């Protein structure tokens, strides 16, 4: 009983990290920046190539936490069900 609930929690967490760290970063680099007139990927300068995906991944982690807390506070489904 414990393992499936734990696995789902970590799967949701991983999805938040991957969505924000990969998908949002790629959309930012290849869609948003060219629309703003900046070079694709911001020129792929070295600190940004590493820092930007990490910042977005932690943003995804924070959104995962806020969404879970709001869901619990509003009486929604808990993490384990």
Q: Residue 32: its pLDDT value, please?
A: 94
DSSP labels for 28-61?
IIIIIHHHHTPPGGGGG-HHHHHHHHHHHHHHHH
Model pLDDT for residues 6-50, shown as the tens digit of each residue: 555 666 667 777 777 888 899 999 999 999 999 998 899 888 888
Extents of the domains making up the chain = 2-73
Q: Residue 29: its pLDDT value, please?
A: 92
Q: Check residue 19 and report its DSSP letter.
A: I
Distances (CA, A) of 79 to 7, 32, 52, 53, 76: 11, 34, 29, 26, 10
Q: Residue 65: its pLDDT value, please?
A: 84
Distances (CA, A) of 53 to 5, 25, 46: 28, 6, 12
């Amino acid at each position: 009983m414990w393992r499936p609930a734990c696995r789902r929690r970590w799967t949701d967490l991983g999805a938040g990290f991957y969505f924000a760290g990969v998908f949002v970063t790629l959309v930012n680099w290849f869609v948003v920046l060219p629309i703003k007139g900046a070079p694709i990927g911001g020129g792929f300068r070295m600190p940004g190539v590493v820092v930007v995906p990490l910042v977005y991944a932690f943003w995804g982690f924070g959104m995962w936490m806020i969404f879970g807390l709001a869901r619990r506070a509003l009486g929604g489904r808990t993490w384990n069900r």
